[in-house]
Structure 1
């Protein structure tokens, strides 16, 4: 029989060795934890203090075969299902008496809906839910598969370059679920069920919200894991970057040209190899003889410098021996503390490098102190946290041993904890704003000022198409600050007319992304393992036509910035993503749940990128529930209709919600 124990904000269920704790955890939301024998209180997930706690009710049958837990409009039904002679405890989740989500047994005998086991390969957990074939599923971070609706996919829960694992799903059935476990694993989104798996861990932990609308679910999710802070106004301007600027004079020359052309430049980036050795956390004095003077001149032009900081430490670094002696590097279960190969300055070939351990508070503190000495005291305030997955080679986190736990169990939190080091450091220094450009994230990263870009992607039309659902998906997963490398990263010849067309279309798309940033490793590229700067990547590098169109879009972005600033403020306050799928604002329109190649920037701007070479028009679906105005000719169209608009090379179709005062 089910043994039930009730507290003010939780109910605990026990059957045999299994224990399940169901807790009130925010608006329309609960947290469910399941373990063997007991619930471990220590966890490394994304849920801190509950944002809101409501009293729970318990109604249990005397014979112990069923119990109902109530929380406002939400209820949880626990039933001791007899199976075929091997009973198991089954949960169903309801809102206003309607079943929204229910557990699914994997087999009539064993296992049931959840499994916690230990075998020769270590511990493993599994949790299964029923899923209807018509259910649509969204989120899970950012991936390159080009899909918005994830139904039918198997998605690895692991951090990789360009694959950002944030285990939050939004369902068309009216729930949002955060798999609150940073273990390496996978989620299988099959026609009949959804199954979550985690390795190296022994406790099931998930947060579930049952709210009437997607906006309500996303707001409650942000309450639970942390809202993004307010984005500073300068950050919505144009950012310039390339593979590598080789000196402070080169940076200044680029910034001066933007100024001389009358084009506002908010940020310019110095990427990797600006240091003497990786892990020194300072400028190379031969390339940056007067960084203080460089920063003053940039500031006078209205431009901020962003500095790339990698979590890797070279064997040539002046800090490596101290970090090793103090236990600040990621340890290994077998072998020495090296996790990647990299050709740094002073190396005639790639050598092994180490990652520091940001799950260790002492390591975060040590890193920040070196950052203060090498950059902050000079005036640097913007940080690019590259390769923060971490980018392992080989990519086997099972051999890692972190301060917070074994690699399989906790490694997905690495990018979040790395960002935390900078957030805590900046906050302790009294800084009002922290903006961290990161290549990866986990649930809760947004609260540390994390902006994600989509990684080292290809310079192809296919990659451009994939950016649209990628940006919408990571917004659903809780990251409102997002961008991609305009033009892709791995190559692209600025002198090639075909590539110039792709660059123009990508630049137009980037104009309407939450962050507007040009980056890439252009041709001529160097040989693998070399340290040269790559080809040019400024807007004037792509010929006169691309230069003119890009300049016009920088000016357009300036006109849009007051609106984008307001959208970012809304994202911070409400948890709604800035770049969002149509279903967020128009859930009542069934078509909006399937549109993958258009997005909303805030509530009033419908963006329809061009993602095919040679296209000069495109078909657009207008969400039902509003009218839409074409800013080019003022024509107004009814929602719920499909139209075709011209798309000359110099612009992509963008429509404004009728009634908005926005102008482009």
Structure 2
């Protein structure tokens, strides 16, 4: 549709209708304060609907479509900020034949008055994006728990070669979603659903909906038996499932036919053989699958335990996940109609509860190959914001204009964070802190994970005095060592907790889980539930409890775990919806928004209690707008496996390209295979290598945090100080601190300019289509191309260097031309990192903690090959005075043509600002190939006192 001008299509339709004698009536419309309402009633070419176009800014238009004569939704938005300011320089509404045009200074929104389809164009009339026509299934009346709403669908026509990004964090290693992928937007441990799509064509779609949503290819998945199945014995209708003892595979317990594999939830466990100990079983599925379709098929696996999949004798996947935390993966396979494929699945269940589901998606039909759709379970209307910009950063800026800016995180949060599951006593945490300082390994933050409370008292936020006899003294001791502490706070309260009765009496809890009698996994098992952050009084009450029990003791940061809310990881969606009943409305309508409201309560509570102390929240789940509450996300309970490490790269990039800039993961992975608990020599060395590679990757993220289950995750507990792994981990921790000026300036740019720190390569190289789908490289800020190593034993890795730039090795300064793929050196101790030509990279001195001393001396590495600029930002680091204009900046610019670096006049002021400083300047070029690990050679020194100065570097 978007290949043709909408006016031509509408005119053709008008001609056809006249020829067949149909009514040629068009939609009616009326202007509104900021747009237009268009009504379609009784037209044979359109469903009956009202469409509202609302210009928010010249580059942002809201579209709302709903059944005709249904009142316009007036619910307060949870996503869009209350303080939204309209900025419209010009606005007009006019018609031409059968097309209505809403024009702003930047956009033309063309609506066909016969079909209701909308096409978005730039001010020059070039098509950006077009809708697919709404049909009868676009608004399907549904209800849940007394709440009536519509199930909603909307498709968009996309171009074959555009890149599509965002949608949150997903564990599928997919970078570009313009490939027929099906993405489910819901909150689940390791999965974050964000309803924002970002295109390489410089537009974004904020799908303004809170319900579980399917995006991309929204067709339902097929069960396994939609294939023609053939058993290993050659019989039609099933695969052969063989259950044997895993240590004695010849000892077969059971062989049975299975044509549907669907063990998704606890309620499915009865389908598995009940007289077999699955934790000791090896299950083989063997036979053939034959599709009735030709094209690219996608097999969707949900699994726990160990799983290997072979198709036609070729190993496709080798995965592991702990039993209680099922994971997912997909296999893409080209198939021809009627052509059989051998399949073999080896499953080693891990624990008493075992999960395995296999569904598949058929090839996209031709008419859907250039379609991207959204389908939501509940909403009042099809409701979305179209955002346009000159580049993707400008689009994200538009998203944050709608949903809120991301505050600057505290300076100390850009240091190193040490965590483990878990420090069980006060003595443990104090000893670890002392060991870091003794070994002079830099650290700013230590983390107290869950169960610091007495076993029965989950939700009280009280320390168990038998294990933490003096929490006030412990926190003071950490502060005396110049460390901050983050503590785990769950939105969960046990029925036996000391605060349960009060919260229950006030109506602040979800009662269903209590009445269901569902117990958790701690000790004897306790019935528990979650508080309701959709009530302002409950949010305030929850913060008051945190304030009284924790904040007053000096706790610095909040780890909001299980914020999906994760009442239980493996109950069905239907059961989760029954338990989660927010006061604001039904769980179906508001399913994805619990983490948003939870963070809102903590952020607003702390800022009200202590207005000038920066909030830091780490949360496992996230929703649109949550960035305005000083929230960072981490990727949940991923496994300590190489494949999980690689999956995090695309997960983190797409999360960041969802407009939400602060993301991290457990460096080292969380879930650990038993072979690493008491490792053989080769397993121990793999453990050390894998953690080393994970540390190397984690150093280039908004938050650098090591965490996981046993074995312990401190560098000195992973390897001895003479081990190359230990040396590398300490090297990258030190490098993190040397990059503090660069990283903190990126954080300021993220607030003031709505920047994105973790950058998909397409953001900076949109003309280079080779970058669109790369899922294991990213830019950290404007300068650094980061290439994690995610293969055991690798000492090289393939790296694509984008076009239109030269690239310099960070460590030694060796130069490379862009537009090529190289085999980059990746010795055990280093991951390949390259610096883009036209960059200025400030490197500071080593620090033991971020506030050890001001960065009065910086080395500026200037990378030749293009003009360069960088703005150094500084403020007090731990308060909100920057919101009042109390900060300082120094602009650096480099002109390649004459080799001149200009250090601009210092702008602004704040308490404690450095008046005098020293800049050492090193020009990195083909003629002077130096890096941060090599002797600096020819450098020039500038003693800076705040006045502009220039120096010639070549």
Q: Under a length normalisation based on structure 2, what TM-score does the superposition of the two structures give? A: 0.64
Distance, in Å, in 2 between the alignment partners of 1:517 and 1:26 is 39
Q: Is the partner of 2:468 in helix, strand or coil?
A: coil
Instruction: Single out whichever of 44-53 and 232-241 deviates more from structure 2.
Output: 44-53
Higher normalized contact order (CA 8 Å, seq sep 6+, divided by chain length) = 1
Conservation of the 8 A alpha-carbon contact between 2:58 and 2:105: no
Q: Could you say which residue in structure 2 is the equivalent of 1:149? A: 176
Conservation of the 8 A alpha-carbon contact between 2:783 and 2:835: yes
Q: Is the partner of 2:117 in helix, strand or coil?
A: strand
- C-alpha deviations, 1:521-572, integer Å up to 9, x for none? 12xxxxxxxxxxxx32211122222222211211111111111111111112
- C-alpha deviations, 1:332-362, integer Å up to 9, x for none? 5xx7566964234xx42x2331011111111
Flag the 1:129–1:275 CA change in 2: closer, same or farther, 3 A: same
In terms of fraction of residues, the more strand-rich structure is: 2
Check if 1:439 corresponds to 2:439. Answer: no
Pairwise CA distance, 1:210: 2.0
Conservation of the 8 A alpha-carbon contact between 1:26 and 1:224: no
Q: 2:695 aligns with which of 475, 497, 507?
A: 507
- C-alpha deviations, 1:370-426, integer Å up to 9, x for none? 011100111112100000011133242432321111001012110011011110011
Q: Is the partner of 2:788 in helix, strand or coil?
A: coil
1:527-538 correspondence runs (5 A): 535-538=711-714
Q: Could you say which residue in structure 2 is the equivalent of 1:525? A: none
Q: Could you say which residue in structure 1 is the equivalent of 2:890? A: none
- C-alpha deviations, 1:197-248, integer Å up to 9, x for none? 1113232211111223112111211221111101211111110001011111
Conservation of the 8 A alpha-carbon contact between 1:117 and 1:202: no
- C-alpha deviations, 1:492-516, integer Å up to 9, x for none? 5275211221111111101112210
Conservation of the 8 A alpha-carbon contact between 1:305 and 1:380: yes
- C-alpha deviations, 1:407-449, integer Å up to 9, x for none? 0101211001101111001110213311101001000011101
- C-alpha deviations, 1:11-54, integer Å up to 9, x for none? 22222352222112245111112223221111444112434331
Q: 1:53 aligns with which of 65, 69, 87?
A: 87
Instruction: Single out whichever of 39-48 and 431-440 deviates more from structure 2.
Output: 39-48
Conservation of the 8 A alpha-carbon contact between 1:9 and 1:53: no
Q: Could you say which residue in structure 2 is the equivalent of 1:209? A: 387
Q: Could you say which residue in structure 2 is the equivalent of 1:361? A: 536
1:176-215 correspondence runs (5 A): 176-189=204-217, 191-215=369-393
Distance, in Å, in 2 between the alignment partners of 1:500 and 1:656 is 28
Pairwise CA distance, 1:302: 1.2
Which structure is larger by alpha-carbon Rg, 1 or 2? 2
- C-alpha deviations, 1:108-131, integer Å up to 9, x for none? xx437x434337997311112123
Pairwise CA distance, 1:626: 2.3
Distance, in Å, in 2 between the alignment partners of 1:392 and 1:420 is 20
Conservation of the 8 A alpha-carbon contact between 1:4 and 1:14: yes
Check if 1:160 corresponds to 2:188. Answer: yes
Distance, in Å, in 2 between the alignment partners of 1:450 and 1:639 is 36
Q: Could you say which residue in structure 1 is the equivalent of 2:831? A: 652
Count of residue pairs brought into register by the alignment = 635
- C-alpha deviations, 1:143-185, integer Å up to 9, x for none? 1001111221111121000000011111233321011101112
Conservation of the 8 A alpha-carbon contact between 2:806 and 2:837: yes
Distance, in Å, in 2 between the alignment partners of 1:436 and 1:178 is 24
Conservation of the 8 A alpha-carbon contact between 2:514 and 2:528: no
Instruction: Single out whichever of 638-647 and 408-417 deviates more from structure 2.
Output: 638-647
Q: 1:552 aligns with which of 731, 749, 772?
A: 731
Check if 1:518 corresponds to 2:706. Answer: yes
Distance, in Å, in 2 between the alignment partners of 1:197 and 1:558 is 45
Q: Could you say which residue in structure 2 is the equivalent of 1:530? A: none
1:14-29 correspondence runs (5 A): 14-16=39-41, 18-26=49-57, 28-29=59-60
Q: Could you say which residue in structure 1 is the equivalent of 2:106? A: 73
Conservation of the 8 A alpha-carbon contact between 2:200 and 2:762: no
Q: Could you say which residue in structure 1 is the equivalent of 2:460? A: 280
Q: Could you say which residue in structure 2 is the equivalent of 1:420? A: 600
Q: 1:250 aligns with which of 417, 428, 436?
A: 428
Instruction: Single out whichever of 415-424 and 483-492 deviates more from structure 2.
Output: 483-492
Q: Could you say which residue in structure 1 is the equivalent of 2:66? A: 35
Q: Is the partner of 1:414 in helix, strand or coil?
A: helix
Q: 1:485 aligns with which of 650, 666, 680?
A: 666
Pairwise CA distance, 1:283: 1.7
Flag the 1:275–1:501 CA change in 2: closer, same or farther, 3 A: same
Pairwise CA distance, 1:609: 0.9
Distance, in Å, in 1 between the alignment partners of 2:55 and 2:696 is 45
Q: Is the partner of 1:46 in helix, strand or coil?
A: coil
- C-alpha deviations, 1:270-294, integer Å up to 9, x for none? 1110113111022222222211111
Distance, in Å, in 1 between the alignment partners of 2:149 and 2:739 is 53
Flag the 1:27–1:439 CA change in 2: closer, same or farther, 3 A: farther
Flag the 1:40–1:209 CA change in 2: closer, same or farther, 3 A: same
Q: 1:315 aligns with which of 495, 498, 503?
A: 495
Instruction: Single out whichever of 218-227 and 300-309 deviates more from structure 2.
Output: 218-227
Conservation of the 8 A alpha-carbon contact between 1:621 and 1:641: yes
Pairwise CA distance, 1:314: 0.5
Check if 1:465 corresponds to 2:646. Answer: yes
Distance, in Å, in 2 between the alignment partners of 1:339 and 1:116 is 35
Structure 2 residue ranges without an equivalent (≥5): 1-25, 42-47, 218-367, 844-931, 933-954
Q: 1:301 aligns with which of 457, 473, 481?
A: 481
Conservation of the 8 A alpha-carbon contact between 2:62 and 2:384: yes
Conservation of the 8 A alpha-carbon contact between 2:116 and 2:133: no
Flag the 1:256–1:623 CA change in 2: closer, same or farther, 3 A: same
Conservation of the 8 A alpha-carbon contact between 2:58 and 2:107: no
Flag the 1:438–1:280 CA change in 2: closer, same or farther, 3 A: same
Distance, in Å, in 1 between the alignment partners of 2:101 and 2:519 is 55
Distance, in Å, in 2 between the alignment partners of 1:539 and 1:365 is 39
Q: Is the partner of 1:69 in helix, strand or coil?
A: strand
Q: Could you say which residue in structure 2 is the equivalent of 1:526? A: none
Conservation of the 8 A alpha-carbon contact between 1:578 and 1:602: yes
Structure 1 residue ranges without an equivalent (≥5): 82-87, 523-534
Distance, in Å, in 2 between the alignment partners of 1:648 and 1:297 is 39
Q: Could you say which residue in structure 2 is the equivalent of 1:115? A: 139
Q: Could you say which residue in structure 2 is the equivalent of 1:292? A: 472
Distance, in Å, in 2 between the alignment partners of 1:454 and 1:290 is 32
Distance, in Å, in 1 between the alignment partners of 2:629 and 2:484 is 20
Conservation of the 8 A alpha-carbon contact between 1:44 and 1:410: no
Q: Is the partner of 2:835 in helix, strand or coil?
A: strand
Distance, in Å, in 2 between the alignment partners of 1:307 and 1:177 is 36
Flag the 1:66–1:660 CA change in 2: closer, same or farther, 3 A: closer
Flag the 1:232–1:390 CA change in 2: closer, same or farther, 3 A: same
Distance, in Å, in 2 between the alignment partners of 1:481 and 1:340 is 34
Flag the 1:306–1:119 CA change in 2: closer, same or farther, 3 A: closer
Flag the 1:261–1:136 CA change in 2: closer, same or farther, 3 A: same
Q: 2:36 aligns with which of 11, 15, 20?
A: 11
Q: 2:716 aligns with which of 529, 540, 548?
A: 540
Q: Could you say which residue in structure 1 is the equivalent of 2:913? A: none
